[in-house]
A and B are shown apart, each in its own frame.
Chain A
Amino acid sequence: MRILVVEDEPTLNAQLVSSLRVAGYVVDSTDNGVDAHFMGDSEAFDAVVLDLGLPRMDGLTVLRKWRAGGRATPVLILTARDGWHEKVTGIDAGADDYLTKPFHMEELLARLRALIRRAGGHASAEIVCGPLLLDTRNGRVMVGGQVLALTGHEYRVLAYLIHHAGELVSRSELIEHIYAQDFDRDSNTVEVFIARLRKKLPPGLIETVRGLGYRLLERP
């Protein structure tokens, strides 16, 4: 799962990035509205944490431009402006949630998880796919009640596949969602992760669609 953090206060930005990384997300960040708009418009993110008071272009404008351009990425507004007037404006501009500073990092994480889940059409914090159970709250995948031991990258690949269970997920899509922008991307590594996951999962769950990508099946 890949998150874009837009926050102009450097320390808070760093705290957000590190907390999100610890929580298992791939994180890109920027400190101004113009770059934020460009990144959100050109890259695939699973969610955006957006501050409103940004240099160069304010957050609401960025959000409206994304929405006008057809970008449906879930956006959580994180701002110090806590009036309901501003909340209504933010939601009407296309935000999916609104969190005011100061905030508890747990709450931010919980709301992000909920946003991503809802974007995938899942109502519960636990997503079930055949024998697999993804608990988004603690970032664990269980198979038949047993916790799977996964590395960070393996978890991201599997979590993305579970969120989009039954759908065809292209290799480049996987890459976009598991690597940050500045990472040296190598599509071969995706195949490595898939191979490792296949060893850890019941056989036949991950289907390879030749030339197109992968699909997670509910049953082999």
Chain B
Amino acid sequence: MKIARVAALRGSLRVRLLAGTVFWVAASLLVAGLSLDRLFRDHVAEQFYASLQSHLDQLTASFTVDEQGRAALSMALSDPRLSRPYAGLYWQIDHLAGDGSVVATGVLRSRSLWDSVLAVPADGLADGEMHRHRLAGPAGSTLGLVERSVRFEAAAAASAARWRLIVAADERLIAEPVARFSGALWLALGLLGCGLGLAVVVQVAVGLAPLRRLRVALGRVREGAAERLEGSFPVELMPLVEDFNGVLAHNGEIVERARTQAGNLAHALKTPLSVLANAAHGRQDEQSRMIAEQVALARRQVDYHLARAQAAAATHGAGARTLLAPVIAGLLRTMRRIHAGRPLALQVSVMPETLAFRGEVQDLQEMLGNVLDNACKWAAQRVDLAAQRDGEVLRITIDDDGSGLTAAQRDAVLGRGVRADERTPGSGLGLAIVDELARLYGGSVDLAVSPLHGLRVTLTLPAAA
């Protein structure tokens, strides 16, 4: 079950197209999203540090050391966040020894640091260099900071007075815009993805619509409603459709040729069989009897297989529609002529003019001809025919007032080569052939006792509109 479903999915053009496109769209959007996110994050970080640096520059510019070697600011830094406690932006000035080791941290600090001190690890910071660091800040925050060391040569007391100037900011300043951007970005990309997915579904449906029409057209051919694939298809499908129609036509030709050849073979055999039968006839010796027997056998075989070949070649009426009335009229003319020697009344009791059989005229003639001929052979003086439509099927009943058949005979007579009575000429295949043809058309032949006391044959065949 599961395997079948997987196979069905793999075998589906729609699923393949959908899966392929959706995969690539998703992958592209993901890569684009990640790249954009990364780019933005870098950009925000750059800006963050650039702003820190500008604060540092400002700090550096206003930093002075008095004669006693005490650090001081010539003017306050302007950013209001620096004076609000734990506002997220801080500065601090550390006093370093000449070798770079920390003498005192937090010599001067921004108001915002309140009573905490940034414990920046000592590193080999050359004069004028700027470093970046990350470290834990007040109130559990993470800070990003820039530091720079300056030296005041002019200071008298300072043997080697170096100062480390630090500006730090809460990394939330990076994380918040990045998070906002990411949210918006992924939402946009998600919407884009959904839109693309929808477009793909629509495109696949629209793109595959001709295939569905092709399937419908093919179904019509299968059902016999059309002889070839009809309708216009996209240029990409046209070669396929044309080739398929070519194959259909070729197939039809092959079937027709096979049918003709089978017919020709059978007919070519019949004349020599007649000659043989006539030569053997009327002589009493063993050999002649054997020839007569074998000829009769050969004749049955030829009849049976010829009828089968014709029935098998019946194309189930690819789109064929045969009006019942003209066929029955022709057959009745023929029956009246062939059975002219007997005083038969052939009557059609019910026969709507519009009744039509969904199949080929020859096959209908063959079925009705055999049944009618049979009825005429056995009838005492009357044969009745009635045809009616019953939903999707035609029901044609043919009654005769002959001696009829027993239940056992009725069963046997539809079997191959069984003759109900050897006296009446005919190969005894008539009803068996009718049965076979009717079944090829999805119909049936039923035998019953007629109200006229003879045999009632009911042919059930597909009706055409």
Chain A residues packing against B (C-beta within 8 Å): 9, 11-12, 15, 19, 53, 80-85, 87-88, 91-92, 95-98, 100-105, 107, 114, 118, 123
Contacts and interface: CB of A to CB of B under 8 A. Distances in A.
A12 B277 CA distance: 10
B273 A102 contact: yes
Contact of A101 (B270, B330, B369): B270
B341 interface: yes
Contacts of A98: 334, 337-338
B287 interface: no
Q: Which size bracket describes the interface of B in this complex?
A: 35 or more
A104 B281 contact: yes
Contact of B340 (A80, A104, A107, A118): A118
Contact of B337 (A80, A97, A101): A97
B368 interface: yes
Given A12-B278, A84-B368, 12 more contacts: A11-B275, A80-B270, A83-B362, A84-B334, A84-B370, A88-B330, A88-B333, A91-B337, A95-B337, A101-B271, A102-B270, A102-B274
B385 to A, nearest CB: 15
A9 B275 CA distance: 9
Query: 6 tightest A-B contacts by CB?
Result: A84-B369, A80-B270, A80-B267, A101-B270, A102-B274, A102-B273
A81 B267 CA distance: 6
B279 interface: yes
Interface in B170-217: none
Nearest to A11: B275
B61 to A, nearest CB: 115
A102 B365 contact: no
A194 B277 CA distance: 39
B425 A107 contact: yes
A97 to B, nearest CB: 6
Contacts of A92: 330, 333-334
B256 interface: no
Nearest to A53: B267
A149 to B, nearest CB: 24
B299 interface: yes
Nearest to A97: B338
B228 to A, nearest CB: 25
A87 B271 CA distance: 17
Nearest to B268: A80
B299 A102 contact: yes
Contact of A80 (B271, B295, B341): B271
A88 B425 CA distance: 19
B365 A103 contact: no
B77 interface: no
Contact of A83 (B273, B277, B330, B366): B366
A188 B278 CA distance: 37
A91 B333 contact: yes
Contacts of A82: 303, 306
B313 interface: no
A96 B336 CA distance: 10
A64 to B, nearest CB: 16
B458 interface: no
A105 B281 contact: yes
| Max chain A Cβ within 10 angstroms of own Cβ: one of B270, B276, B295, B368 | B270
B27 to A, nearest CB: 67
B274 A103 contact: yes
B271 A15 contact: no
A85 B327 CA distance: 9
Nearest to A106: B281
| Max chain A Cβ within 10 angstroms of own Cβ: one of B278, B306, B373 | B278
A203 to B, nearest CB: 35
B225 to A, nearest CB: 24
Contacts of B303: 82
B362 A85 contact: yes
A82 B268 CA distance: 12
Contacts of B135: none
Interface string B269-307: 011111111110100000000000001000100010010
B271 A9 contact: yes
25 contacts: A11-B275, A15-B278, A80-B266, A80-B268, A80-B270, A81-B267, A83-B366, A84-B331, A84-B334, A84-B369, A84-B370, A85-B362, A85-B366, A87-B334, A87-B338, A87-B369, A88-B331, A88-B333, A91-B333, A97-B337, A98-B334, A100-B270, A101-B271, A102-B277, A118-B341
B380 interface: no
Nearest to A51: B271
Contacts of B306: 82
B365 A85 contact: yes
Given A12-B278, A80-B266, A91 B338 contact: yes
Contacts of A114: 340-341
B310 interface: yes
A19 B337 contact: no
Interface in B347-372: 361-362, 365-366, 368-370
A104 B341 contact: no
Contact of A12 (B274, B310, B369, B373): B274
B334 A91 contact: yes
Contact of A84 (B272, B274, B366): B366
Contacts of A123: 343
A16 B214 CA distance: 59
Contacts of A12: 271, 274-275, 278
Contacts of A105: 278, 281
Given A19-B278, A104-B277, A85 B338 contact: no
A15 B278 CA distance: 7
Nearest to B271: A9
A118 B340 CA distance: 8
A101 B299 CA distance: 9
Contacts of B281: 104-105
Contacts of B277: 102-104
A96 B341 CA distance: 11
Interface in B225-282: 266-268, 270-279, 281
Contacts of B271: 9, 12, 80, 101
A102 B272 CA distance: 8
Contacts of B368: 84
